[in-house]
Structure 1
């Protein structure tokens, strides 16, 4: 099975595992049965969407749990490529919503609305073409 590369970290060689210290005082405080992380280790995982393997790096975990304050129960289930794709789709959906609310759109806004809507349809995120068909 393919191994997805991370845009910032290098995949470890076989058998290599990086372990870094965690700081529970910087993590979201939880009660048992969950625990805070004392250390983080590179974890090899399978993406829920594309089924390829990827590493959830120790540095990435530290960022998630100590900087972003994610709950210790939060888990990384998508590879970096699928995460980026999801972020792009969310941005397009937000842009679509904003363009749709525009009562008197300019020609440029109408063109952009069509592009965004057609992109969302191609990606399978939108099925109702009726709103964009009215603009033709």
Structure 2
């Protein structure tokens, strides 16, 4: 079955690229072609090189949650440090931290979405199923 991790449709038997490549380069988790995204944040329906169907993966809101929590923590620590070190006015905080938070979240979202899709592919992640009672 060509959709299994470690197998490539071309039959070359090559190992799939590391999941981080899917995030950094927007590459297919099976063949490594840069076909994962059709726009900055929108996944393609399938890989143009190997035919892997990207629509069957459910990345959902996972990347946004992790980025918001991580970046929010970092920004909060920086804002507290700036407040105690320099004591700027409230308007400086508003002009500095809100755009920085938005920019970091949007810039890192593509990487996080690509990485999560590649990890779903590598680990064969799918919805949990309850076992039917016998």
- How high is the TM-score relative to the length of structure 2? 0.23
Higher strand share: 1
Higher helix share: 2
Larger radius of gyration: 1
